[in-house]
Structure 1
Amino acid sequence: MFLVSVGYIIHTAKPYLDRETAPLMPHEGFSAYYPTLITHIAFATVALLTAIFQIWPWLRRNHPAVHRWGGRLYVVTTMIAGVLGLVIVPFAPPVGKLGVTVATVLWLAFTVMGYIRIRQRRYAEHRRFMLYAFAMVMNNFWGSIIITAGRRLELEIDPNYYLEAVRWIGWVINLMAVTWWLNRTAGRPVR
């Protein structure tokens, strides 16, 4: 999953590295848009890669200190990336804006709740909220896959409906999968 994530990040972030060729939304009146976007991408990248290690059971069991420090890094990078995402979302196209906003708010909320629960030593609830947060951070995978598949298949769908669906499908499917997993493993002890 880590290698797939690195490939995904390289593929999707590379166009943004050059301001002249970056696919930017209109942002008149907000001169800090590009640096804000790049900072959001950088912190979200760290959050995504850190999240993968955080859910790895071997790391949690055998190196709990690494898991704790990785969790702190994940929380900080998520907070920065999420807030910056909410700053730039007003400049996104209207289609899909609500889906992105809801996903970002949920990502921040699940991360904060997971952090609060671990500070309270409520491990099962911490696990639940952090798995929900993981589902949200992995949301962008689905969006990219769905858009790429739609372009290759040349689907006869109104682009507005298609782009709106892309902004919702990823995180809804991820949350459903995590909920199914948590219900399926509900009887297992949390170590």
Structure 2
Amino acid sequence: MTHQKTATLLRIAAFFLTAVGIAMVIRRTLAIAGLIPSFNPSGAAPFDGGFAQHPVLTFMHILPGMLFMLLGPWQFMPGIRSRYPLFHRISGRIYIICGYIVGASALCMPFIMLPIGGVNEAAASILFSIFFLICISKAWWHIMQKNIAAHREWMIRAFAIGLAVSTVRPVIGLFFAFSGLPPQVFFGTAFWIGFTLHAVVAEVWINETKP
């Protein structure tokens, strides 16, 4: 498969996962507001219960996260960069600011809320939150140094990790459908699978497209 076809498939996947992420934010917002019931499999504790107990932290995480996912795909479209450089620069700054808010709030969440997947989920969240913040910081540093190639690489890593939460949900769905295990057992594993998969795909694409 050529790079052009692969790039097209990755853009389609990015827009699809962005749509999944936006749907997740809308659903969680409605659940916290009490407008729709929280997901409650097999009579277990509602998934949105912990988020509803900490709405400020939750909205600090999901609302900038939605903006991060919306702006992300446009950062990697050459036509946007060349035709609308001012939009690219301004949206890029908003993207990075949102990234810091998302990463910092994600890092705090396991210490404030009880993760559904326990220590396993908390470990994945903490590790990839730190890595995500490093990616955002490196992307910002390199663009300030006018190192466009390095900036691009760290932006790809940041976007891949930020978008991984949208992949975690289908993985969780597969566990529900086929494993027969309670969510407390497989939630952490689903987080590791989703985030690791995105990190690997990002590295492969970076190495395949280096000048």
Q: Do structure 1's residue 155 and structure 2's residue 165 form an aligned pair?
A: no
Q: Do structure 1's residue 78 and structure 2's residue 93 form an aligned pair?
A: no
- 1:10 shift after superposition: 1.9
- 1:179 shift after superposition: 1.2
Alignment gaps of 5+ in structure 1: none
Structure 2 partner of 1:184:
208
Structure 2 partner of 1:119:
144
Distance 1:102 1:123, change over 3 A: same
Distance 1:7 1:180, change over 3 A: closer
Q: How many residues align structurally? A: 182
AA in 1 matched with 2:146: R
Structure-1 separation of matches of 2:162 and 2:191: 13
- Tell me which protein shows more helix as a share of its residues: 2
Distance 1:177 1:149, change over 3 A: same
Partner deviation per Cα, 1:106-165 (whole Å, 9 max, x = no partner) = 1111011100100000111101111100111111111111012222x3324564552222
Contact 1:50 1:70 in 2 (8 A): yes
Partner deviation per Cα, 1:19-63 (whole Å, 9 max, x = no partner) = 445512289xxx7x2122112110111111111111122212222
Contact 1:13 1:41 in 2 (8 A): no
Structure-2 separation of matches of 1:147 and 1:3: 17
Structure-2 separation of matches of 1:63 and 1:16: 33
Q: TM-score, normalised by structure 2?
A: 0.77
Contact 1:82 1:105 in 2 (8 A): yes
Alignment gaps of 5+ in structure 2: 1-13, 39-47
Partner deviation per Cα, 1:61-106 (whole Å, 9 max, x = no partner) = 2222211111100011111122122222211322411101111111
Contact 2:51 2:58 in 1 (8 A): no
Structure 2 partner of 1:16:
29
Structure 1 partner of 2:199:
175
Structure 1 partner of 2:88:
67
**Which segment is superposed worse, 67-76 or 1-10?**
1-10
Contact 2:168 2:190 in 1 (8 A): yes
Q: TM-score, normalised by structure 1?
A: 0.84
- 1:2 shift after superposition: 3.2
Contact 1:8 1:141 in 2 (8 A): yes
SS of residue in 2 equivalent to 1:25: helix
